[in-house]
């Protein structure tokens, strides 16, 4: 519940000038769940870029006036951000724009480089000056540097990819081309589709294609570069097949929208399966199964179907809490959960409840939710979690960054149940994780510690800010 999503990227290229900025706006709306800190759109009007970026939700940053001011064009890229590297400030808003004598470029990135610190050090020592603390600027810098010798922007991107490690799904716009790329591990999703008027649309999740009326064509392969231009679509695969693809399993459990399909697997179906597995591995006598909105709902349905225990709406989420919501301080965490969630007394009073949630990080939120249900009259609460215990940080674009804060690193399952006040607790068995996506290989490092790439010594979100302040002492 308290893990933050990473980012959402969106791109469109149209055969005729039109309201591509508005299309990007609708696409970003569908990707809002992937990042709520900031957002931005860059429109390409015959090689001239116009942009608008700011802190806030898509609906807050892009009002009618801003949208009307965006010019018509043939291409646009958009981004919604929850920063996993770099602070939440305007300089870290995306898409990043680069003006260089070899041409303009706008870049939107989802993921996190695991060798960002090393790359940034090397670039700074060769004279680079960074304006932000996000690792996306590192990618922009390397692509621009490679562009000096490369015959095309896609060649420059390909040369840059040979230097990048970790997670990146990119949408890059040059004056003439829209280019998408997915890292060779395929940590983060990226797909594309086509609209009836012949526009191509790329997005982090297929739900954004559906939102703009585009027909899904396919996911990018891990390592693939796709180049869209007036000449059509060209796929480059020089980085494909060089390593075992390891898409993030937690996208299916928590990050992605249930109506998305990623790498041919439905997110909703994966969550249902998680619930079914929990019902088999952690059965309990109960009267009702309740999911924690939003990502616990599908797994709760799966548990209910597999166990035969009726499904009920036991918790309701306030959908209208945006970035402008002034959260109560640490001392008032209880109030914060109560403002976001409330219990439906009629569903739980006097009942033995199976409560299904997607994860437990510190345990604080889970404890609050258990209290809510108890106050509403639940007789017993049996918490079932549709993921295994978090035991390790993530270096690929989520803010699971410290073992200190992970309750499962310090307590047994029985102790955690006691701390959060549940009558029993059961996690998805780690050996069943891949069953959620048909047995495919995936990244499960935050649960197992098996990292698909070398990992950095410092993964804190503010590592570049800390370095800057250390230097200025």
What is the contact surface with ligand SF4 in residues (CB under 6 A)? 187, 248-250, 394, 396, 398, 443-446
Query: If we measure between CA atoms, which residue out of 303, 317, 307, 309 comes closest to residue 271?
Result: 303
CB-based contacts of 344, cutoff 8 Å, min separation 6: 312, 313, 314, 315, 316, 376
Q: How far is the CB of 338 from ligand SF4 (least distance, A)?
A: 28
Nearer Cβ to ligand SF4 (84/92):
84
Catalytic residue among 7, 180, 240, 442: 7
Nearer Cβ to ligand SF4 (146/251):
251
Q: How far is the CB of 253 from ligand SF4 (least distance, A)?
A: 9
DSSP tag of 151: S
Query: If we measure between CA atoms, which residue out of 395, 388, 375 comes closest to residue 434?
Result: 388
Rounded Cα–Cα distance for residues 54 and 237 (Å): 35
Q: How far is the CB of 268 from ligand SF4 (least distance, A)?
A: 19
Q: How far is the CB of 452 from ligand SF4 (least distance, A)?
A: 8
Rounded Cα–Cα distance for residues 351 and 82 (Å): 38
Q: Catalytic site residue 39?
A: no
**CA angle 73–79–82, rounded 5-degree value:** 165
Q: How far is the CB of 49 from ligand SF4 (least distance, A)?
A: 32
CA-derived radius of gyration, the chain = 22
Query: If we measure between CA atoms, which residue out of 152, 166, 70 comes closest to residue 112?
Result: 166
Nearer Cβ to ligand SF4 (22/188):
188
Question: In Å, how far from its chain's centre is CA 88?
Answer: 16
Nearer Cβ to ligand SF4 (183/444):
444
Q: How far is the CB of 152 from ligand SF4 (least distance, A)?
A: 31
Rounded Cα–Cα distance for residues 73 and 95 (Å): 17
CB-based contacts of 364, cutoff 8 Å, min separation 6: 2, 333
Strands (DSSP E) found in 31-185: 38-45, 48-55, 73-81, 96-100, 103-110, 169-173, 178-182
What is the three-class DSSP state of 112? coil
Query: If we measure between CA atoms, which residue out of 177, 183, 194, 176 comes closest to residue 160?
Result: 183
Nearer Cβ to ligand SF4 (13/249):
249
Q: How far is the CB of 446 from ligand SF4 (least distance, A)?
A: 3
Residue 245 vs residues 157, 183, 222, 421: alpha-carbon distances, Å:
20, 9, 6, 40
Residue 84 tokens, joined: 């996993």
DSSP tag of 32: G
Nearer Cβ to ligand SF4 (14/398):
398
Q: How far is the CB of 426 from ligand SF4 (least distance, A)?
A: 20
CA-CA-CA-CA torsion sign (278, 282, 286, 291) = negative
CB-based contacts of 164, cutoff 8 Å, min separation 6: 113, 115, 119, 139, 142, 183
Q: How far is the CB of 205 from ligand SF4 (least distance, A)?
A: 15
Residue 380 tokens, joined: 């017993």
Q: Up-side HSE of residue 267: CA atoms within 13 Å toward CB?
A: 24
Q: Up-side HSE of residue 318: CA atoms within 13 Å toward CB?
A: 11
Residue 105 tokens, joined: 């470029």
Nearer Cβ to ligand SF4 (140/433):
433
Nearer Cβ to ligand SF4 (29/255):
255
Q: Hey, which residues are catalytic here?
A: 7
């Amino acid at each position: 519940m308290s893990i933050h999503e990473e980012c959402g990227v969106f791109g469109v290229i149209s055969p005729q000038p039109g309201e591509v900025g508005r299309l990007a706006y609708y696409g970003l709306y569908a990707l809002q769940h992937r990042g709520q800190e900031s957002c931005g759109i860059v429109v390409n009007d015959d090689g001239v870029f116009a942009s608008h970026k700011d802190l806030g939700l898509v609906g807050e940053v892009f009002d009618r006036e801003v949208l009307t001011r965006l010019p018509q064009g043939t291409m646009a890229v958009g981004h919604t951000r929850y920063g996993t590297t770099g602070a939440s400030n305007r300089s870290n808003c995306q898409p990043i724009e680069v003006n260089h004598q070899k041409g303009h470029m706008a870049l939107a990135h989802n993921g996190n480089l695991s060798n960002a610190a090393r790359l940034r050090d090397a670039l700074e020592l060769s004279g680079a000056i960074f304006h932000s603390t996000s690792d996306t600027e590192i990618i922009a810098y390397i692509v621009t540097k490679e562009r000096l010798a490369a015959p095309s922007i896609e060649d420059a991107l390909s040369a840059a990819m040979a230097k990048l490690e970790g997670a990146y799904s990119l949408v890059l716009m040059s004056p003439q081309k829209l280019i998408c790329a997915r890292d060779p591990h395929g940590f983060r999703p990226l797909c594309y589709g086509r609209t009836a008027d012949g526009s191509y649309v790329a997005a982090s999740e297929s739900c954004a294609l559906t939102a703009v009326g585009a027909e899904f064509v396919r996911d990018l392969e891990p390592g693939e570069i796709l180049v869209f231009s007036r000449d059509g679509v060209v796929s480059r695969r020089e980085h494909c097949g060089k390593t075992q693809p390891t898409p993030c399993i937690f996208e299916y459990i928590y990050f992605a929208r249930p109506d998305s399909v990623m790498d041919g697997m439905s997110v909703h179906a994966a969550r249902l399966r998680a619930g079914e597995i929990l019902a088999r591995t952690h059965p309990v006598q109960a009267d009702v199964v309740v999911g924690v909105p939003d990502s616990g709902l599908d797994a709760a349905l799966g548990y209910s179907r597999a166990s035969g225990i009726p499904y009920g709406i036991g918790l309701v989420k306030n959908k209208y809490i945006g970035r402008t919501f002034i959260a109560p301080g640490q001392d008032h965490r209880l109030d914060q959960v109560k403002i976001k969630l409330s219990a439906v007394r009629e569903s739980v009073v006097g009942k033995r409840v199976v409560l299904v949630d997607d994860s437990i990080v510190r345990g604080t939120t889970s404890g609050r939710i258990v209290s809510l249900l108890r106050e509403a009259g639940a007789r017993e609460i049996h918490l079932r979690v549709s993921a295994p215990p978090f035991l390790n940080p993530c270096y690929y674009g989520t803010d699971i960054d410290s073992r200190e804060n992970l309750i499962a690193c310090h307590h047994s399952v029985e102790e955690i149940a006691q701390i959060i006040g549940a009558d029993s607790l059961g996690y998805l068995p780690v050996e069943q994780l891949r069953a959620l996506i048909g047995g495919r290989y995936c990244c499960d490092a935050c649960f197992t510690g098996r990292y698909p790439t070398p990992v950095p010594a410092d993964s804190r979100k503010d590592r570049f800010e800390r370095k800057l302040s250390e230097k200025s002492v």
